[in-house]
Structure 1
């Protein structure tokens, strides 16, 4: 209904345009112009809401041309032409004469509008018609036309770079900057040259000096453009530097923050090679920056504070006496307060650290939890950076008694970092830390830090093993970071206090080696095998004291800060990263590579659940490329055995049973989780050479619903084996056990396999899609089958085939609960397997 109404209205507009095109005369003509404006407004409104009005191109042109010099109609006509220029280049060619004629109109407004519209056509074939009007516009007597012509050079440059360069337009703009009397024309020239990659044209003395002498004539935006351009200029001598700064000194007092920051950048960059003068500049810019910070425009204040932080990190001594400027105010938003705390931390030294820490201590009691956390972190950083000031560490230890769990957690984290930096102050901290109960530290990161302290300094904390015992009993309920920290702490404390930690270590090892998290499980196996081999070797690896660190990885390096300083007064300072990190073109993604590959399968989704089940699997061309010969896929040579036949590994120095007895792993309450032999996985016999045509596979796949979906982790060795030899090795291995391959393909890091198998005596085929994602390190598998009884046994069989590619022996469900074995035999894993 709506479409028919729209078509009817468009037909009415065509009729109106046709009748108005023939209208002329004086009074009657004025009425017609008003009517034409109304109908043009309707057309623009339709374009705005997304209705295609290009079909009435000729009627619009005829009606507008007959309207004489009415500027309102011309504006709407130019908008209409520019909207449909790219989609209708042939029709746009018809407008060239009209636009070029209007570029010579007596009214400068019409000349400028026509030239701007002409440059916005963005049709490559029409560039030759645009060059002449632009060159004439650059010489126009009216500044508006010249401004438009300058920006038109940039538009044509993006459309046809060679045409602009061959016509010498960039050199023309360089001359215009010096000769033109209109400040906005000069500013446009600077902007175009920078965006066209010709910034080197702006750094000559013959351009810089005239620009600086007339800096007050420019608008605020243009002043920023000029100052940015001049910042790349290298003065010939120090006297020239002083001359430039004298000319621009009043710009530091400008009401516009952008002009002030651009001037600050210029001053800092001009004096980088003049240390005494550079220090004077830093002193000079303190007051202007403080003025910008004190304003109520919080967004502007945040940007200025980000720049202030960068300067304070480079020269904290110069600003250490104005630290009170950065105390938080009640009405400031949290992002301002957080940044101020960082500045206070950077300014802290022996003269003001205690006063700053006193102020930060007040923030710890603030109702804003985020501010309180940041305040604790700031006090911790000050304690690390300014070690010689007394009272800072005591304030940090006092946070442990506030009764707020998040404050306690943050304080413990900072104390841990403090001990990593200065192990010598452990004696002053351990009494307060040991008075905390584990249940008082509820956050995972804080609990991990608390456990680390107990493990590293447990020989000086009398109750350390007993504080860790409740955590060992609830090992499985703790988050992964806490489990890892507990495993490391108990392992280290065992070698310091063996009698008290023997039982605890057995409990933690038993729980960790049965953990579903691979990191926890692998570390527990490492400790267990080290103990099997040699207690001294285990102590050397696990119980080695940690050296004091000089700096933390989270801290910005001086080199990175220098790179950011080079981009002063840009988003790089706010984001704290060089601009190349967030504006550089990204590398072509793997998905794009897969789409461009001629013989690749369709784009592979990240998860099997996202596959469109109703779509065709492969096109006919892709089937011809990806189909594997049945004799090859079924495999004529015997495949690898599911259980490794390699001999046992070398017997360790310490027997497994001795270690089990020592740690209480051999029986009783602390026996390892192998009391009962796991039930063998369901067995499934497959026909060695199943037969299925591609058409039948495609039809069955489209008609069946998924019977099972699962994701199986793959180690790097398995991924490499699957990728090798264009997937042929993997297909031959699966074919050896009766899983034939219908098609395979893909481009790294994603590969897709379509397979099928026929259970011995089963009523139907089992169809399979496996998506191997190398970047995720897993295989997403989808199974389809009419016989539900065959799904689970087949899934287990296919899992074992995936693991066999990495040389991993599998013993049923134990593999998927975290137990992993290698080709060397069972000696590589815990003895209970």
Structure 2
């Protein structure tokens, strides 16, 4: 119904345009122009709501041409033409004569509109028709036409760079920057040259001096363009620097914040090589920046404060006396308050630290939780940076008694950082910290900091082992940072107070070695092995005192601040990172297919028919190799030390002295060890599985990896694979029921794509094996629609890899070369 209505209205408009096109006469002409305007407005309205009006192209053109010099109709006609230029290039060609003719009209408004529309057609094969009108427009007597022509140069540049360069238009724009009397034309020339990559043309003295002399003639946007261009100019002597600054000094008082910030950037960059003058500039810009901060435009104030923070970090002494400017107001949003607290922290010194800390203490009681946290953090940073001022540490310790859990947690974190920087403050802080109960700290970071203090200074805290004991019994319920901190703290405290921490250490080690998190699991194994090897060595490694640190890793380096300062008055200052870190210039190439078009074998075969010429291409070439997370069946005597689960050995094995000492032998206080994993069932494979290359590739792309592991290979196996072009390996796997789909590669890397079908099942096990001679290992990826045969198949495939060196199973000699695997998502790790 709606479509038929649209067709009816379209026919009505077509009829109206045809009748209006034939209207002539002076008296009737005015009435006809009004009627045409109404019809054109209706057409533009339909275009706006998404209705295709391109079928009226000829009627619109005819009606518009007969309308004479009516500017309103011309604007709507040009809008209509530009709308359908790219989608209907053939129809657009019909408008070239009309637009070219209007570019020579007596009315400068029509000339400019026609030239702008001509440049907006964006049809590559029409460039030759556009160049001549642009060149005429650059020489036009009216400034509006020249402005339009200058911007038209940029539009053509994006379509055909060579045409603009060959016509010498960039050189023409450079001359117009000096000679043209219209300020907006000059500003447009600057913008075009900069976007066309010719910014180096703007830094010569012959251009900079004329631009600065007429800076007040430009609009605010153009003034920013001029100041940005001049910031790249390097004066020849100091007198020239002073002349430029004298000319632009009143720009610091401009009402527009962009002009002020551009002027500040220019002054700072001009005087970098003149330290005394640079200090004077910093003093001069304080008042203009404070004026911008005091305005009610919070978004502008935030950008200015971000720049103020960067300057204050470079020269905090110059701004230390205006610290009250950065006190928070009640009506300010949280992002403004947070930035002000950072500035207060940066400019705090011996003269103002106590007053700043007093103000920050008031913010701790604010209903805004985030502001309260930031205030506590700021007081902690001031206590670290200005350690000679009394009373600040007492204020920090007083936050522990506020009764607010988030304030207490943040205060403990700051006290921990304070003790890391100044261990001598421990005596003043430990009494207050020891009065806290672990249940008062709910947040993981606060609990981890509290545990760190107890572990590092537990010899001076009488109840330290007993404060850690309830956390140890609930080890599995704690967050990962808390578990790691507890493991380290108990390890240190054990060497300081062995009788009280013996059972606690056993509890924590037992729970940590059974932990699914790789970091916790590996650290517990490290501690356990050190204790088993030598208690003295364990004390030297685990119980070593930490040296006082000079700076924290999260602090921004001076080199990074200098890089950001080079991009002053840009988004880099607001984001606190150089633009190269958040602007990506090189697009990411799409991922390649699993198998290259020429890598598939023509017919499915077993391993006896390996396609030696097949190219192999894996979509996982850049994935990290992961060591197998399944349970080893080795019989090494030390296997019980390398896993949280006992090995497949006789249950009556004797308990070690260390296990008995730490209570790991089944004491009620310890966590019971998990039951041993049952051995993987034997896997039987179809001796001659059938799978087409197309099916292999489709299944490989559709399935997610079921298991990935890295298997170490001895030099003899690597030499055997390289020596006989890996045919022996394919034959041996084929004899075991593992067929090869494709193989190949050039030393030191060889790839194998294989498949196998478990007897009694329908799901194929697909395998990708990448043998890397330089790493001395094979990275294997298994995919299967059924998870049941994956683990037994992995064991079978490892035996096939070992068979290349004449090893039938994983013996103790091979197991001794295993190492901790990287973090895996496949389950608990086995060494």
Distance 1:87 1:715, change over 3 A: farther
Counterpart in the other structure of 1:370? 370
Q: Which segment is superposed worse, 674-683 or 105-114?
A: 674-683
The one of 812, 816, 820 equivalent to 1:824 is: 816
* Distance (Å, rounded) in 2 between the aligned partners of 1:223 and 1:439: 60
* Distance (Å, rounded) in 2 between the aligned partners of 1:632 and 1:433: 69
* Number of residue pairs aligned between Structure 1 and Structure 2: 770
* Distance (Å, rounded) in 2 between the aligned partners of 1:82 and 1:534: 83
SS in 2 for 1:766: coil
Residues 635 and 735 in structure 1, CA contact (< 8 A), matched pair in contact too: no
> Structure 2 regions of 5+ residues with no counterpart?
612-627, 643-653, 746-750, 771-778, 803-812, 822-827
Q: C-alpha deviations, 1:643-681, integer Å up to 9, x for none? A: 979884889999971221121112232566446443334
Does residue 349 of structure 1 match 2:349? yes
Distance 1:356 1:515, change over 3 A: same
* Distance (Å, rounded) in 2 between the aligned partners of 1:485 and 1:732: 52
Q: Which segment is superposed worse, 130-139 or 15-24?
A: 15-24
Q: C-alpha deviations, 1:228-278, integer Å up to 9, x for none? A: 111112222222222221111111111111111111111111111111111
Distance 1:442 1:564, change over 3 A: same
What is the correspondence of 1:307-322 to structure 2 with a 5 Å cutoff? Answer: 307-322=307-322
Distance 1:802 1:434, change over 3 A: farther
Q: Which segment is superposed worse, 65-74 or 27-36?
A: 27-36
The alpha carbon displacement at 1:405 in A equals: 0.5
Residues 507 and 671 in structure 2, CA contact (< 8 A), matched pair in contact too: no
Residues 600 and 741 in structure 2, CA contact (< 8 A), matched pair in contact too: no
Residues 594 and 700 in structure 2, CA contact (< 8 A), matched pair in contact too: no
What is the correspondence of 1:92-131 to structure 2 with a 5 Å cutoff? Answer: 92-131=92-131
Q: C-alpha deviations, 1:534-565, integer Å up to 9, x for none? A: 22222222222111111111111111111111
* Distance (Å, rounded) in 2 between the aligned partners of 1:177 and 1:324: 46
Q: Which segment is superposed worse, 362-371 or 156-165?
A: 156-165
Residues 628 and 742 in structure 1, CA contact (< 8 A), matched pair in contact too: no
Counterpart in the other structure of 2:791? 796
The alpha carbon displacement at 1:824 in A equals: 2.9
Q: C-alpha deviations, 1:371-399, integer Å up to 9, x for none? A: 00000000111111111111111111111
Counterpart in the other structure of 1:248? 248
What is the correspondence of 1:253-332 to structure 2 with a 5 Å cutoff? Answer: 253-332=253-332
Residues 628 and 743 in structure 1, CA contact (< 8 A), matched pair in contact too: no
* Distance (Å, rounded) in 2 between the aligned partners of 1:170 and 1:287: 41
> Structure 1 regions of 5+ residues with no counterpart?
595-599, 603-620, 747-751, 785-790, 808-820
Q: Which segment is superposed worse, 23-32 or 295-304?
A: 23-32
* Distance (Å, rounded) in 2 between the aligned partners of 1:471 and 1:426: 23
Counterpart in the other structure of 1:766? 763
The alpha carbon displacement at 1:143 in A equals: 0.6
Counterpart in the other structure of 1:410? 410
Does residue 632 of structure 1 match 2:629? no
Counterpart in the other structure of 1:615? none
Residues 700 and 766 in structure 2, CA contact (< 8 A), matched pair in contact too: no
* Distance (Å, rounded) in 1 between the aligned partners of 2:437 and 2:39: 80
Counterpart in the other structure of 2:381? 381
Residues 606 and 739 in structure 2, CA contact (< 8 A), matched pair in contact too: no
Distance 1:674 1:253, change over 3 A: closer
Q: Which segment is superposed worse, 59-68 or 533-542?
A: 59-68
Counterpart in the other structure of 2:624? none
Counterpart in the other structure of 2:216? 216
The alpha carbon displacement at 1:584 in A equals: 3.6
Does residue 582 of structure 1 match 2:557? no
The alpha carbon displacement at 1:319 in A equals: 0.7
Residues 234 and 270 in structure 2, CA contact (< 8 A), matched pair in contact too: yes
The alpha carbon displacement at 1:6 in A equals: 3.5
Counterpart in the other structure of 1:494? 494
Residues 648 and 825 in structure 1, CA contact (< 8 A), matched pair in contact too: no
Q: C-alpha deviations, 1:178-203, integer Å up to 9, x for none? A: 11111111111111111112122212
* Distance (Å, rounded) in 1 between the aligned partners of 2:767 and 2:788: 17
* Distance (Å, rounded) in 1 between the aligned partners of 2:231 and 2:211: 12
Distance 1:216 1:127, change over 3 A: same
Residues 683 and 793 in structure 1, CA contact (< 8 A), matched pair in contact too: no
The alpha carbon displacement at 1:783 in A equals: 4.8
Counterpart in the other structure of 2:569? 569
Q: C-alpha deviations, 1:320-373, integer Å up to 9, x for none? A: 001011101111110000000000000100111111011101110111100000
Counterpart in the other structure of 2:659? 660
Residues 706 and 784 in structure 2, CA contact (< 8 A), matched pair in contact too: no
Counterpart in the other structure of 2:615? none
The alpha carbon displacement at 1:711 in A equals: 5.5
Residues 319 and 347 in structure 1, CA contact (< 8 A), matched pair in contact too: yes
SS in 1 for 2:63: helix
What is the correspondence of 1:367-766 to structure 2 with a 5 Å cutoff? Answer: 367-589=367-589, 592-594=590-592, 600-601=593-594, 622=597, 625=600, 629-632=604-607, 648=636, 657-669=656-668, 673-674=672-673, 676-693=675-692, 712=707, 714=709, 738=737, 757-760=756-759, 762=760, 765-766=762-763
The alpha carbon displacement at 1:742 in A equals: 6.3
Counterpart in the other structure of 1:37? 37
Structure whose residues are more often helix by fraction: 1
SS in 2 for 1:583: coil
Residues 634 and 740 in structure 1, CA contact (< 8 A), matched pair in contact too: no
Residues 190 and 225 in structure 1, CA contact (< 8 A), matched pair in contact too: yes
Q: Which segment is superposed worse, 271-280 or 530-539?
A: 530-539
SS in 1 for 2:582: helix
Residues 734 and 740 in structure 2, CA contact (< 8 A), matched pair in contact too: yes
* Distance (Å, rounded) in 1 between the aligned partners of 2:314 and 2:830: 59
Residues 631 and 830 in structure 2, CA contact (< 8 A), matched pair in contact too: no
The alpha carbon displacement at 1:76 in A equals: 1.8
Residues 445 and 482 in structure 1, CA contact (< 8 A), matched pair in contact too: yes
Q: Which segment is superposed worse, 316-325 or 157-166?
A: 157-166
Q: C-alpha deviations, 1:262-300, integer Å up to 9, x for none? A: 111111111111111111111111111111111111111
Residues 681 and 792 in structure 2, CA contact (< 8 A), matched pair in contact too: no
Q: C-alpha deviations, 1:806-828, integer Å up to 9, x for none? A: 99xxxxxxxxxxxxx98339999
* Distance (Å, rounded) in 2 between the aligned partners of 1:688 and 1:178: 85
Residues 754 and 767 in structure 1, CA contact (< 8 A), matched pair in contact too: no
* Distance (Å, rounded) in 1 between the aligned partners of 2:727 and 2:174: 63
The alpha carbon displacement at 1:113 in A equals: 0.6
Distance 1:756 1:53, change over 3 A: farther
Residues 115 and 134 in structure 1, CA contact (< 8 A), matched pair in contact too: yes
* Distance (Å, rounded) in 2 between the aligned partners of 1:659 and 1:801: 36
* Distance (Å, rounded) in 1 between the aligned partners of 2:128 and 2:20: 34
* Distance (Å, rounded) in 2 between the aligned partners of 1:727 and 1:40: 76
Counterpart in the other structure of 1:202? 202
Q: Which segment is superposed worse, 239-248 or 693-702?
A: 693-702
Distance 1:825 1:193, change over 3 A: closer
The alpha carbon displacement at 1:515 in A equals: 0.8
* Distance (Å, rounded) in 1 between the aligned partners of 2:726 and 2:74: 65
* Distance (Å, rounded) in 1 between the aligned partners of 2:456 and 2:729: 47
Distance 1:757 1:828, change over 3 A: closer
SS in 2 for 1:793: coil
Q: RMSD value over aligned CA atoms?
A: 4.1
The alpha carbon displacement at 1:109 in A equals: 0.6
